[in-house]
Copies of this chain bind each other. A is one copy, B any other.
Amino acid sequence: MEELTPRQEEVLDHILRTLERRGYPPSVREICDALDLSSTRGALRHLEALERKGFISRAPGARAIQVRDAFRGAASYLPLVGEVPAGPLRYASGEVEEWLPVPARWGGEGRFLLRVRGDSMIGDGIHEGDLVVVDPRAAVEEGDVVVAMVDEEATVKRLRRRGKAVELRASNPAYPPLRLKGGETEVRLSGKVVALLRDRV
């Protein structure tokens, strides 16, 4: 990607900071204020340069500045839930503690974040307190790490096929495996673990 001049970098910087601070891009006149320009033409020129060099793209309309993905990062937002949701999540739901940004490719319909309790999956590097991204719609297969309801509580386990039945195994040998009969899997498996966030290392 082409290099930016110092002034152009200031403009891009201001756009990024504005986006981060309040969630929508600045107007041309706001850029002028920030860079001490007295004419909108100046800022407009910089925007044109940024667009030509591929850092932003613009659409007709007010504040229609789109920062290229490589810089904006294209986040998705997933709800961190206290319990595994039964139905589709609604916004003002009391079950949602927080909405956290994650890389866009982790996003998807129905996905949510769940805080891991216990050390049963420590052998797979999944620790107490980690947040796992759960996809309730993904097909679960042999060897996948899944979220299962055991004794009314959500636990993370690894799925193993044992003939017709399936087995949920912890990766900590201190925990015994759990067998599920044929019909039980749909009831008890609430999703596949697809990614992980750890806050304090």
Contact = CB atoms under 8 A, between A and B. Distances in A.
Interface of A: 1-4, 9, 12, 16, 19-20, 22-25, 27, 55, 59, 61-67, 70-77, 90-92, 98-104, 122, 124-127, 130, 132, 145, 193-201
Contact of A197 (B62, B63, B127, B196): B196
Given A20-B75, A71-B91, 8 more contacts: A4-B91, A63-B64, A71-B99, A73-B77, A73-B100, A75-B75, A75-B101, A196-B198
A101 to B, nearest CB: 3
A76 B20 contact: yes
B197 A197 contact: yes
A172 to B, nearest CB: 12
B132 A201 contact: yes
Contacts of A201: 124, 126, 132, 145, 193-196
Nearest to A133: B201
Nearest to A23: B66
Dominant SS among interface residues on chain A = mixed
A74 B91 contact: no
A71 B76 CA distance: 11
B98 A70 contact: yes
In order of increasing CB-CB distance, the 8 nearest A-B pairs are A62-B62, A75-B101, A125-B125, A196-B198, A73-B101, A101-B101, A73-B77, A73-B99
Most chain B beta-carbon contacts within 10 A, residue among A20, A63, A197, A198: A198
A72 B77 contact: yes
Nearest to A101: B75
A9 B91 contact: yes
Nearest to A130: B125
Nearest to A71: B99
7 contacts: A2-B92, A71-B91, A73-B75, A73-B99, A101-B101, A196-B198, A198-B198
Given A71-B99, A99-B73, A132-B201, A63 B24 contact: yes
